[in-house]
Structure 1
Amino acid sequence: MKRTRPRSVEEIEEFNLRPFRPVRVMMGENVIIHPTTSLGGTGFTWARKEDGSILLAHNLGDIIIEDDVRIEEHCTIRRSTLPDTATVIGKGSVLISYVNVGHNCKIGKNSFLGQHVCLNGGVKIGDQCWIAGHAVIHKGEFRP
């Protein structure tokens, strides 16, 4: 099938054009973020409608990255679910490549997340935690 560029707004009505809120990222000083990192974006907050179909709920919150944080390549940090809430990366923390931080996560100060760590939504990591590569954390609070 050959794709052609739409010539008018009427021709693109089939697309799901939805309202969005720009991602607000509040960043401290001395923050290093690799250019392939994704901040914000659509989260993984799914819900089931009354008819049984699955609906993607769009996240509307913010991201806070405190001072002296280092985020390496291909990491994904999701915004929090509701307005006036935030996903937080604590001061002095390090995220190595391919880390996924879900919506509403809070990472404490001076914590280290190794390659391919996945934090599902709402996980809280305490100060000075060290999480080894390929760990998947589903729910709860974790402290050293």
Structure 2
Amino acid sequence: MIHPLAYIHPEARLAENVKVDPFTVIHGNVQIGEGTWIGSNVTIMEGTRIGKNCRIFPGAVIGGIPQDRKFNGEKTTVEIGDDCTIREFVTIHRGTTDRYKTVVGNGCWILAYSHIGHDCIIGNNVTLSNSCQIAGHVVLGDYVSIGGVCAVHQFVKIGEHAFISGGSLVGKDVPPFIKAGREPLSYAGVNSVGLKRRGFSNEQINGILDVYRYIYNKGLNTTQALQFVEEELPISDERDEILTFIRDSGRGIIKRHSKTTADEI
């Protein structure tokens, strides 16, 4: 299963049924789970942990040292879960002393030419379309989907089940369950289609819509809206997740789109 033209460091640990194609280099202190395929011309560097049944396509570089001037050679890792697809020329950098690791969850699709910077935490079943650029320290919740050619600013958080339109610049936190688009990036409604596909009931989706009506559509500031939602709307897991996310936001959340003169022309 290991092509003779691949180089595997003697201290790398590959499980059974790992297939490695020619001209790939796997450094020491690497672990790869069973059933994973590593395509040709892939470089897997020290500190990388890859789970079971992953597919790593040609040209990917995983575990490169962080693009961070403060990095001083610390022992850090990249940890990739099971059943992930990492397409051509993706780069994923290991952590720094902030988290000591970069994490990609299970079932993720990281498409061609995308980059995941140091100390990112990527949840399960996340999709990054082609050429997404994720800066360091970013946190993406489960089932986040990001369209092609997006750039996400360092330290941004995107809540679970959020959908980001292609070509977006993400400089503020994006709350869970919503769609975001336009420039500057703005609230564009609840991600109802995605939620239905993942088994959310109409009652759950309507509850989420009610929360966001008060956050974005009633003319309240964020503090007022959160207070009203907590005091007046029925308790639910989704309601409480939204409240917690917004209250914990370090960069502030995206706003509702405001029509400008340019829009009216």
The worse-fitting range, judged by mean Cα deviation, of 57-66 and 87-96 is: 57-66
Residue type of the alignment partner of 2:100: T
Tell me how far apart the structure 1 counterparts of residues 55 and 87 of structure 2 sit (CA, whole Å): 8
Could you give the per-residue CA deviations for residues 42-62 of structure 1, whole angstroms, max 9, x where no partner exists? 321025xxxxxxxx6546410
Taking structure 2 as the reference length, what is the TM-score of the superposition? 0.41
1:48-127 equivalences under 5 Å are 57-58=72-73, 60-82=75-97, 85-127=100-142
Structure with bigger RCO (C-alpha 8 Å, 6+ apart)? 1
Tell me how far apart the structure 1 counterparts of residues 135 and 119 of structure 2 sit (CA, whole Å): 9
Unpaired segments ≥5 residues, structure 2 = 1-28, 30-44, 163-265
Question: Paired residue for 1:38?
Answer: 61
Could you give the per-residue CA deviations for residues 85-117 of structure 1, whole angstroms, max 9, x where no partner exists? 210111000000000000000110001001110
Aligned partners of 2:98 and 2:119 also within 8 Å: no
Q: How many residues align?
A: 116
More strand by share: 1
Tell me how far apart the structure 2 counterparts of residues 84 and 131 of structure 1 sit (CA, whole Å): 23
Residue type of the alignment partner of 1:142: I
Identity %: 29
Question: Paired residue for 2:150?
Answer: 135
Residue type of the alignment partner of 1:75: V
Tell me how far apart the structure 2 counterparts of residues 117 and 83 of structure 1 sit (CA, whole Å): 23
Is the partner of 1:88 in helix, strand or coil? strand
Larger Rg: 2
Aligned partners of 2:99 and 2:119 also within 8 Å: no
Tell me how far apart the structure 2 counterparts of residues 23 and 31 of structure 1 sit (CA, whole Å): 18
Q: CA RMSD in A?
A: 2.0
Is the partner of 2:69 in helix, strand or coil? strand
Shift of 1:41: 1.8
Unpaired segments ≥5 residues, structure 1 = 1-20, 48-55
More helix by share: 2
Aligned partners of 2:105 and 2:122 also within 8 Å: yes
1:137/1:59 CA distance change after superposition, 3 Å: farther
Taking structure 1 as the reference length, what is the TM-score of the superposition? 0.73
* Structure 1 outlier segments of 4+, above 4 Å: 56-59
Shift of 1:28: 1.1
Question: Paired residue for 2:169?
Answer: none
Aligned partners of 1:59 and 1:79 also within 8 Å: no
Shift of 1:124: 0.4
1:84/1:103 CA distance change after superposition, 3 Å: closer
1:116/1:85 CA distance change after superposition, 3 Å: same
Question: Paired residue for 1:28?
Answer: 51
